[in-house]
Structure 1
Amino acid sequence: MFRILRCLLICSIAVSMVNIRVFTRAMSTVAKSFSAFGVVPDVIPVAPKDLATVKYPSGAVVCQGNVLSPIKAQVIPQVSWKASPGKYYTVAMIDPDTPSPEVPKFREFNHWLVANVPGDNVTAGETLTTYFGPTPPPGTGLHRYVVLVYQQTGKLYFDESRLIFAVTRIWFSIHKFATKYGLGTPIAGNFYQSEVSLGLGKVPLINSLLGR
């Protein structure tokens, strides 16, 4: 009987060690990718611990800096994370590379901002900024599109202007926004890159997205 209990204890410890290693590796991967692509410190000072799952209806999936066509990311994505029951969250998507990565004088462009999200049910949240898909100017190279999730202290009142038009979305700072409302550091996040080549600037859809 003692041998059986001893064996079970050893197995339990071994499984726990494996889980800790997997968790630590995941944390390390997220932190490394956010730093490698400059999301830390360009957007936030500290990387989130968990990776948010971001999937577009087009089938495009966001994966820590992968490159997606802007055409495949024009519809609101499905965002999920390890949400706690009864908690409220804020979800944001920003572009820190506007109008170009070399000269980001309009940093950051506010692409999407939803607050008071119950659990991970983003559609039930309060939209502060309507979704605006990636529209990097042709020839400016790859832009980073960062999705962040913050856990709120409770259901909050946000005295922000509701943004719809593109011209009102520049010079946003998700870090300052989080500081203003006491959101702390993001608990989850993900990001991708997107660009429009000079040749694609002639495509009618891209022109309409850019207001041309």
Structure 2
Amino acid sequence: MATGLITNVSSIFFKCRSIVFTQLQAKGISSTMNKFEEEKIVPDVIPVAPKEILKVTYSGGLEVNLGNELTPTQVKDKPSVKFNGNPNSFYTLCMTDPDAPSRKNPKFREWHHWLVGNIPGFEIEKGETLSEYIGSGPPPDTGLHRYVFLVYQQPGKLTFTEPRLTNRSGDNRGLFKISKFAENYKLGNPIAGNFYQAKYDDYVPLLYKQLGA
């Protein structure tokens, strides 16, 4: 009888733990979606917020956290990006700024900073780089810009027709639309995402010099 009681108590415990985990997971999804909507990334960039948070970490352990403020100096080098990828699937990663040259006057929306396709599983370094990484370079007196990271699951390995862009020029970066790109390649909605905000600092002129501006 004692054994049966222990079994029942154990079963109830695991059921309760599962319910709590599911509730916390739902709360996390809701929080992520709310942040994307609060900062108008939905609908400025994408029609539907991703459900999973993309883990983005810069040098020194600086993490992107749903709209926290970082500086151009802190994000000048390519970050580490992690997500739950299926090793048998391919993915596209994008980093884009919808606030070029400013959030009030986004006439160059979007200016994309990074674009990698055909990522096998979660191994970004093995993907096909379409646009090399460029850090944040908001012009002076334009306030905070939103820098949005998105991951899409591809229907399979794709042949991309976009020009390959280096990080030595800003040509062909502006007037990009990740939602249009996703539509063209039938990527659906993003499965994971994150974003930070940044405004001008003393590193920006150095970046402009790198880009030949």
Place the TM-score, normalised by the shorter chain, in its bin: over 0.9
1:186 aligned residue: 190
Unaligned runs of 5+ in 2: none
Is 2:173 aligned against 1:169?
Answer: yes
| Segment of structure 1 superposing worse, 151-160 or 71-80 | 151-160
Moved more, 80-89 or 45-54: 80-89
1:116 matched residue in structure 2: 118
State the number of aligned residues: 206
Identity %: 45
Residue from 90, 93, 96 that aligns with 1:91: 93
**SS of 1:209's equivalent?**
helix
2:144 alignment partner in structure 1 = 142
RMSD value over aligned CA atoms?
1.2
- Structure 1: gaps of 5 or more residues: none
Match of 2:9 in 1: 7
SS in 2 for 1:189: strand
- Counterpart of 1:105 in structure 2 is 107
Aligned residue in 1 for 2:204: 206
SS in 1 for 2:87: coil
**Partner Cα distance (1:176, 1:121) in 2:** 25
Match of 2:19 in 1: 17
2:138–2:204 contact (8 Å) kept in structure 1: no
> When the two structures are superposed, what TM-score results if normalisation uses the length of structure 2?
0.93
Give TM-score scaled by structure 1 length: 0.93
SS of aligned partner of 2:73: helix
Instruction: Give CA deviations for 1:86-116 in whole Å, capped at 9, x if unaligned.
Output: 1111100000000111000000001000001
1:47 and 2:70 correspond: no
Partner of 1:128: 130
